[in-house]
């Protein structure tokens, strides 16, 4: 196994011809063209590739120019055959400990016991899949408990379905007052909820299982919902349930269940990123840095009264015109304080680093919302830049920095410093 380490938005020279040949298979290939269904061991976040304005589906994991690779906003690790590429955050310290990426993952996925290191160790990666389970479970249950038409067999005197003639002859001759019949009705106890139940029971057997399933009240409630809905659960039917779920659901309403179903299959089938077992298949876990930064900020800003519009559902979007035509999606806005913020996973060390298009975007949000305060919220090392006042109708634009570089000996100390940093954001 060859392991190459780099950071996002950087360049790296590759000295091994074997590594170059392997990486060529993913270089300059758009993520949407990797055909994620054909590479089940590749997890990409966000799961809906076009949900965000930067459209991760149009990005490539790396670009290749001769023997040099270039990275964009994609972080995580990815491999082809025996070559593994670790892409760390460029905002982390240069000591090999990417606490910043780990901290964002902990906040976004609500993981309390998370200090995973960049490594090719299969067992640690498999445990990471277990840690993701509560996130997917809560996303799916937010759409309601999955229900599906099920076929039930009955043999009683209260006929209310289609008579099963052959079964009736087998079971009720001579006639004893009952009729064999079948009904078809919606049920929460189906192949998908059964798969989730089997995953829950499997996680319970792991050392960290109790912490994962009791991580927060929402997770505990979700687990209880699944257990209550799957009264027919039988541990000895696990393989049958897995077989029934090999075709992923594509329901227009329960679309979040597709990702949950896929994760459950990976856990139960031990598809923990099969390193090198299938030639030329891409494996790994990747995160769009812009998406991860935005989702992390949501965990910080939501308790402060900021709303975070959802592109997928249209929730929180703002119309451009008085006749309610056209719309935009500010990253964050606070209706009480009249502040609108744009999340940027970029270095803004000076005002001249801010792109004109980004400025126009924030000014547009301020005008549409009729707010006098707008700005960018970015990872920053050092002092926050002074705000600027707009000409015309006025208003101020700010660059709000979250200091993400801390000199710490361990992840726990880093998390404490980040928590303190978050509390000081708007003081």
pLDDT tens digits, 99-131: 888 888 888 887 764 444 444 444 455 667 788
Radius of gyration of the chain, Cα coordinates, nearest whole angstrom:
26
pLDDT given for residue 45 in this prediction: 80
Q: Could you tell me the pTM of the whole model? A: 0.76
pLDDT at 137 over 90: yes
pLDDT score at 259: 85
Q: pLDDT tens digit string along 220-278? A: 999 999 999 999 999 999 999 999 998 888 877 788 898 899 889 888 887 434 433 45
In this model, does residue 1 exceed pLDDT 70? no
pLDDT digits over 172-186, tens only?
777 777 877 776 766
**Residue 40 · residue 246 · CB < 8 Å:** no
The pLDDT value recorded for residue 271 is 47
Q: Which of 349, 339, 329 is nearest to 395 (CA)?
A: 339
Which pLDDT belongs to residue 335?
92
**Averaged confidence pLDDT in the chain:** 82
The residue ranking higher by pLDDT, 333 or 383, is: 333
More confident residue, 379 or 380: 379
Q: Predicted confidence band at 332 (pLDDT cuts at 50, 70, 90)? A: very high
Q: In the chain, what are the domain boundaries? A: 1-120+275-296, 148-187, 305-423
Residue 57 has what pLDDT?
A: 75
Which residue is listed with tokens 């277990």? 130
Whole-angstrom distance, CA of residue 59 vs CA of residue 96: 26
Pick from 245, 231, 132: which is nearest to 192 by CA?
245
Cα–Cα distance for residue pair 394/376, rounded to 1 Å: 17
The pLDDT, as a whole number, for residue 58 is 80
pLDDT of residue 15 exceeding 70: yes
Per-residue pLDDT reduced to its tens digit, 38-63: 666 677 888 665 555 456 778 888 99
């Amino acid at each position: 196994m060859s392991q190459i380490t780099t950071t996002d938005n950087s360049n790296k020279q590759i000295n091994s011809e074997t590594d170059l040949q392997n990486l060529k298979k993913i270089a300059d290939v758009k993520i949407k063209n990797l055909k994620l269904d054909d590479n089940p061991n590749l997890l990409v976040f966000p799961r809906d590739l076009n949900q965000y304005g930067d459209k991760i589906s149009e990005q490539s994991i790396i670009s290749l120019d001769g023997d040099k690779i270039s990275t964009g906003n994609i972080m995580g690790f990815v491999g082809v055959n025996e070559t593994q590429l670790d892409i760390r955050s460029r905002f982390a310290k240069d000591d090999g400990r990417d606490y910043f990426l780990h901290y964002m993952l902990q906040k976004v996925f609500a993981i309390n016991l998370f200090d995973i290191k960049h490594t090719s160790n299969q067992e640690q990666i498999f445990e990471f899949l277990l840690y993701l389970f509560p996130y997917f479970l809560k996303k799916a249950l937010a759409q309601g408990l999955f229900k599906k038409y099920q076929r039930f067999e009955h043999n009683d005197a209260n006929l209310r379905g289609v008579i099963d003639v052959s079964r009736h002859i087998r079971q009720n001759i001579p006639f004893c007052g009952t009729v064999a019949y079948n009904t078809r009705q919606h049920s929460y106890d189906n192949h998908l909820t059964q798969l989730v139940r089997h995953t829950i029971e499997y996680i319970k057997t792991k050392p960290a299982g109790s912490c994962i399933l009791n991580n927060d009240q929402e997770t505990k409630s979700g687990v209880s919902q699944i257990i209550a809905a799957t009264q027919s659960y039988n541990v000895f039917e696990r393989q049958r349930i897995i077989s029934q779920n090999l075709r992923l659901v594509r329901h227009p309403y329960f679309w979040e269940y597709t990702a949950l179903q896929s994760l459950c299959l990976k856990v139960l089938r031990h598809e923990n990123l099969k390193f090198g077992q299938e030639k030329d298949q891409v494996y790994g876990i990747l995160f769009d840095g812009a998406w991860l930064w935005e989702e992390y900020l949501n965990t910080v800003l939501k308790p402060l009264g900021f709303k975070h519009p959802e592109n997928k559902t249209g929730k929180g979007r703002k119309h451009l015109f008085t006749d309610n035509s056209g719309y935009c999606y500010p990253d964050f806005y606070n209706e009480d304080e009249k502040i609108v913020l744009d999340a940027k996973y970029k270095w803004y060390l000076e005002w001249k680093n801010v792109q004109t298009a980004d400025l126009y975007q924030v000014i547009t949000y301020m005008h549409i919302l009729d707010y006098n305060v707008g700005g960018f919220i970015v990872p920053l090392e050092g002092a926050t830049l002074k705000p600027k006042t707009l000409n015309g109708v006025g208003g101020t634009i700010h660059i709000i920095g979250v200091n993400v570089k801390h000199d710490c000996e361990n992840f726990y100390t880093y998390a404490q410093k980040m928590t303190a940093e978050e509390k000081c954001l708007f003081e």
